[in-house]
């Protein structure tokens, strides 16, 4: 729709987590590929790969390690890439080129990566052993973004009951994918959005039934 306002992306709210750098491992769902990298905000990095990052990646198998400085995290990444050079692989075709980081993909390396992670944990570094748990906690803390996303979309498209299908506009697609993240992580949105938006999401979700159940 002409003149529609930008719809707020769900999951990060434009905020960066200052003072921490994470080394991350994002395994692909259904494939023996994993992305090794560093980020100040792993959520933003996940969303750069896909708005449906929860389907692209196997979140329960993914994990994070907190470094005290970016330099420290980068040194781990560089050392691990050298050690795992035999596992280097091109990025999967499902990953958009705009996401960048096409040189840090590994194939068949999850076991060795886990050993390297465990060594850091023994040294006293903070490890988040399940990316799914980390993402779920992040989304739960930022549930207030749902209301602002609905308000932004309503200013451009009117009441949710009158919205077209999500495929009709990129902004609505982003909103659907953001809401589907809550379904994928089994976080209820009852009481956080209007009944109209809940019904629109149930009609457009790739994860929910028409009755709004996952």
What pLDDT score does 4 carry? 36
- Note the pLDDT of residue 3: 39
Q: What is the pLDDT of residue 91?
A: 87
Question: How far is the CA of 202 from the CAs of 15, 176, 196, in angstroms?
Answer: 28, 9, 10
Where the chain has pLDDT below 70, the residues are 1-19, 99-102, 209-214
DSSP 98: G
Predicted pLDDT of residue 212: 52
Take residue 62 and report the two structure tokens written for it: 């993914």
Tokens of residue 88, six digits: 């280097």
- CA-to-CA distance for 77 and 201, rounded, in angstroms? 39
DSSP letters spanning 130-164: -HHHHHHHHHHHTTTHHHHHHHHHHHHH-SGGG--
Q: What pLDDT was estimated at residue 100?
A: 67
- The pLDDT score that the predictor gives to residue 9 is 45
Asked if residues 44 and 12 have their Cβ atoms less than 8 Å apart, the reply is yes
SS3 state of residue 128: strand
Query: How much of the chain is helix, strand and coil, in % rounded to 5?
Result: 50, 15, 40
178's enclosing H/E stretch is helix 170-184
Cβ atoms within 10 Å, residue 171: 21
Of 147, 158, 152, 146, nearest to 183 by C-alpha is 146
Closest alpha carbon to 130 in 32, 214, 36, 26: 26
Quick one: pLDDT at residue 93? 81
pTM: 0.86
- Locate the domains of the chain by residue range: 21-138, 143-204
pLDDT at 19: 61
174 token code pair? 């982003």
Give the whole-angstrom CA distance, residue 104 versus residue 108: 13
Which SS3 state, helix, strand or coil, does residue 94 take?
A: coil
Phi and psi angles of residue 109, each rounded to the nearest 5 degrees, phi first: -115, 5
Report pLDDT for 158: 97
């Amino acid at each position: 729709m002409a003149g529609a306002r930008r719809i707020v992306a769900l999951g990060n709210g434009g905020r960066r987590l200052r003072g921490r750098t994470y080394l991350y491992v994002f395994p692909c769902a259904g494939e023996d590929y994993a992305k090794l990298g560093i980020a100040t905000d792993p959520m933003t990095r996940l969303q750069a790969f896909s708005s449906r990052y929860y389907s692209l990646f196997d979140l329960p198998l993914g994990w994070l390690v907190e470094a005290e400085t970016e330099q420290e995290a980068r040194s781990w990444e560089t050392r691990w890439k050298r050690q795992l050079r035999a596992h280097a692989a091109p990025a999967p075709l499902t990953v958009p080129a705009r996401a960048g980081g096409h040189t840090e993909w590994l194939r068949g390396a999850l076991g060795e990566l886990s050993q390297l992670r465990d060594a850091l944990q023994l040294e006293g570094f903070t490890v988040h052993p399940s990316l799914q748990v980390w993402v779920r906690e992040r989304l739960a803390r930022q549930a207030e973004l749902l209301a602002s996303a609905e308000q932004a979309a309503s200013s451009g498209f009117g009441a949710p009951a009158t919205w077209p299908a999500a495929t009709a506009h990129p902004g609505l697609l982003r909103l659907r994918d953001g809401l589907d993240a809550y379904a994928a992580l089994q976080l209820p949105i009852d009481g956080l959005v209007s009944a109209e938006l809940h019904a629109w999401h149930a009609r457009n979700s790739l994860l929910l039934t028409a009755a709004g159940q996952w």
